[in-house]
Structure 1
Amino acid sequence: MYFQDSLEYKSENIYHQKTREYFNEVMSSYNNGNYRSAVVMLYSVVICDLIYKLQELSDRYSDHIAISILEKIKQEQEENPTNPKWEKTLIDEVSTRTNLLEPQDKLNINYLRDSRHLSAHPVLDRLDILVKPNKETVRANMANMLDGLLCKSPILSNKIINTLLADLVSIEEQLVKQEDLERYLNSKYLTKINKPTEEKLFRDLWKFAFRLEDAQTNKHRIVIYNSLLILFRKELSFFVSLIQNDKNYYSQITLENPYILDLMLNFWSRYPVTYLHMDETVKVIIDNKVRENFDLFAKSVFLSDSLIEHFSKIRTRSSSEDFTPRMRDTETALLFSLSREQGITKEFLDLLIFLFRKSSSYSDGDYNFREFIIPYGKLFTKEQFIEILTAINENNQLYGRWDSRKDNPRLKKIIDESPYKDEFDYTQYSNFRF
């Protein structure tokens, strides 16, 4: 809406309280037509805001870059108390050593600095020895400073990853649900960073999630991975292009670590386009791994053109194996999540029933009933319940196992609590004993 472009609206979003208070003086001068005073004060506000942000990074996050910049300008002030050279040093240091200012922001600040000098310092060879800027120029300067600096959070430091990782460790046990973690990260970090910082953060999170193997990273890899997912979904097309344009970096993955491999397959299956941009060496390794391991194959959805096609491939491979392969709960959970997102839950449940029917030993039957039938009992249709009962009735590895004595009553209870409870004639299934 148009009012969101107003200076008044933008000034309400100034990050630091003292900066907001100082900016009110700029607004007062501007509204009263005192444009020269507005420019002079605006430049002072910018310098103060840079210092406030560095101080917060120093005090709250122990940011070494912020500390070193503050020490440098303090030393310059002490050496030349009357020389304002330290202001330029401050702007240059923040611009080159942090991500707080984008290139255009620095250009705008330099332009404001020049305007301030012309407004504050007499020029002897001019009729008006003090330059008076026009209203439009002053307003543009104010808008540029609000957008480029004053309304930004100070966490745009190059070292944001250190701050974020320490924070993740501290809140990991409190924010177990993904939606809670997402709300937390968006509120505290992701809504306050710019594109260069997003790119740097994504690269760092990728490295920690899929490459590093130190003890701390191993311990907290899941919350790091979940944070990467949240950031990736925020700007999906942007991050896909990053991967595409720097495949060498993003293809450096520790695939021999089973935990990293598991998460990597999960990520590729959720976002198959990212796998397309991997280096060929990665694809060769993955092809070999999934050929040798059914568990890895089952969750590698990205190797199929669609989830439906992948379900078909699982059926085909499980039928050709000498033994009945088992899908682990991690594979099942991923396939269930993807099937819900794509509206094909029925096809997913049909696959589970197919694998349950194929149980070739008592232990397979116990496992498949526990993992494939009970957790999804409330989702089965009448026809699917019939398929399950028929499978039990016809496969002695299902009806003859010891655990069927307690499992069959559990299944009947689920059916009796469904909308189809009065539509079953259990006498048709003589081997289904409850």
Structure 2
Amino acid sequence: MYEFSVEQAANNIHDHRTKEYFREVMNNYFNGNHRSALVMLWTVVICDLVYKLQYLKDIHGDEKAESILDEMTEFQEKNPANPKWEENLLKEVFSRTSLLEAHELDSLQSLHRHRHLSAHPVISKADILFRPNREMVLSDIRIALDSVLTKPPILTKQVFKELAEDLEKVKDLFADNNQLKRYLESKYFRNLNEEVSSQIFKSLWRVTFKIEDERCDENRIINSRAVRILFDRNRETLTEYIRNNSPYFSEISDGSPLKHAVFFLGDYPHLFGLLSEATREVISAKAKSDIDLLAVSYFLSKNIAEHIDLLVQLIKDDYQYSFGGKNKIHISHIKDLIRHAESAGIKNHINKLLIVMYINATNFDAADQMFSQFIKPYITVFDASDIQLLIDGIGENNQTHWRGRGDGDHRLVVERALEVLDDFDVSEYRHLPEPEES
């Protein structure tokens, strides 16, 4: 850690009083007064812990914070000359809040020992006063900054209440997920330890996928975005947390919560198997009742090829000449399918699905839209079997070949047919237009 980065880290200290006190630490350090820097650094750490507890007590009504402060105040009043309360404060903050990890407690206790050696002469030693070197002081400064001083005061289990209220306020502000991620990361998630992260995830899961009330309905989208951001930060730990708490995470309500749960599980298919069997059955039934939900329910198939085939078969069986309008797959979900197919090396496997959607259009408007979205952009990669399926399907559904834009659109089909079909004769197909003369 270079000296300039100490200054940079100091800019991230949250409490303005702590930031002012820390300047004295820096001045002593940069001027070579290492002993004084250590003595002041410990004092700054203790002050900042008190400020954080006061914040939690005053703003969040945190009973644990209030209890710790009361105990330290009582000890200090009874023992005004005894600094033992400082060491007790550190231990109580570790044991009764989620602010400190075990390794941070150990490092801060080392800082306390260094402070004690620097402040108190040892008569039995030749060098009565301890002489800390520059590297030791720099290490202790970094420990103090990382473990306490730069952590936000809301870094306890109380953070969820403030996070939920904040998400409610900014739900219309951050349309871009990267913007929301940067905001949540800088304000809440940056210093989360595993315990608090898991507790927040558990609470977010509940308001997103479990609770049904007006407020949760209004904030379900922003909350589901936050759930994803938090899960992505620590997938392994939170996956194991879900595994160990399966009954809790299997509590998913019907309606909007279930729909959003399907979207979430579609992004993380490995989580589906961690839920209870009853919940998996409910989710499967819900997904299969809605073609758009089924499209993102990757957890129901062994691989992407099987999943695409599942969608094709369902459209043939349940949506013959009735696809589009209310019964459709959103274009963003089709693009996700295409991306997954490309990643699996089966890019052209999606073509059949694109064609089957179009040739089962329920009306002219649906056919117009689907040709524009799913046929025209991809027709140049359709092979002979794709084109033959498309031509035959157009002929069997008058909602495709009778529509006003049909002739213009289907000339593109004829052009591709001439390229990939041997001995193709457009005159054999009454529903197809003649190709334009070159």
Scaled by the length of structure 1, the TM-score of the pair is 0.78
Could you tell me how far 1:336 is from its partner in structure 2? Answer: 2.4
Q: State the match for 1:351 in structure 2.
A: 353
Write out aligned runs for 1:6-405 (5 A).
6-14=2-10, 15-16=12-13, 18-31=17-30, 33-54=32-53, 62=60, 64=62, 68=66, 72=70, 73=72, 82-123=81-122, 130-254=129-253, 257-289=254-286, 296-321=293-318, 326=323, 328-329=327-328, 333-343=332-342, 346-359=348-361, 364-366=362-364, 368-369=366-367, 372-376=370-374, 379-382=377-380, 390=391, 393-399=394-400, 404-405=403-404
SS at match of 2:9: coil
1:200-224, CA deviations, whole angstroms, 9 ceiling, x for partnerless residues?
Answer: 2222222222222233212211110
Shift of 1:175: 1.9
Compared with structure 1, are the counterparts of its residues 90 and 102 closer, same or farther at alpha carbon in structure 2 (3 Å cutoff)? same
1:379 is paired with a residue whose SS is coil
Equivalent residue letter for 1:355: M
In 1, Cα distance between equivalents of 2:329 and 2:85: 57
- What amino acid does structure 2 have at the position aligned with 1:350? K
- Give the C-alpha shift of residue 42 in structure 1: 1.2
Deviations 1:317-344 (A, max 9, x none): 3334485674745665324224225526
> 1: CA distance between counterparts of 2:181 and 2:117?
48
C-alpha change, 1:24 and 1:204, in structure 2 (3 Å) is same
Change (3 A) 1:136 1:355: closer
Let me know the Cα RMSD of the aligned residues.
4.0
Deviation at residue 43 of structure 1 after TM alignment: 0.4
Aligned-partner residue type, residue 261 of structure 1: L
Q: How far, CA to CA, are the matches of 1:267 and 1:387 in structure 2?
A: 37
Instruction: Structure 2: state its 5+ residue gaps.
Output: 420-424
Aligned sequence identity (%)? 30
- Is it true that 1:431 corresponds to 2:427 in the alignment? no
Q: Distance in 2 between matches of 1:322 and 1:350?
A: 15
Segment of structure 1 superposing worse, 281-290 or 161-170: 281-290
- Partner of 2:173, secondary structure, is coil
Residues 265, 272 of structure 2: 8 Å contact kept: yes
Separation (CA, whole Å) in 2 of partners of 1:174 and 1:288: 35
Contact residue 265 and residue 299 of structure 1 kept, 8 A: yes
C-alpha spacing 1:342/1:49, structure 2 compared with 1 (3 Å): farther
Local SS of the residue matching 2:160 = helix
What amino acid maps onto 2:308 in structure 1?
F
Q: CA deviation at 1:354?
A: 1.1
2:190 partner SS: helix
**C-alpha displacement of 1:311:** 0.8
Aligned length in residues: 416
Paired residues of 2:321 and 2:397 also in contact (CA < 8 A): no
Aligned partners of 1:399 and 1:432 also within 8 Å: no
Letter in structure 2 aligned against 1:12: Q
Once the two structures are overlaid, the 10-residue window that deviates more, 43-52 or 386-395, is: 386-395
**How far apart, CA to CA, are the structure 2 residues paired with 1:195 and 1:300?**
29
Q: In 2, distance between residues paired with 1:80 and 1:305?
A: 68
In the superposition, the TM-score normalised over structure 2's length comes to: 0.78
CA distance in 1, matches of 2:339, 2:295: 17
Q: Which runs of 5+ in 1 are unaligned?
A: none
Q: Contact (CA 8 Å) 1:13, 1:151: kept in 2 or not?
A: yes
Q: CA deviation at 1:391?
A: 5.2
Change (3 A) 1:63 1:184: farther
Quote the Cα distance in structure 2 between the aligned partners of 1:234 and 1:174: 22
CA deviation after TM superposition for structure 1 residue 271, in Å: 1.6
Q: CA separation in 1, counterparts of 2:316 and 2:152?
A: 57
Counterpart-to-counterpart distance in 2, 1:18 and 1:7? 22
Q: Does the residue aligned with 1:179 lie in a helix, a strand or coil?
A: helix
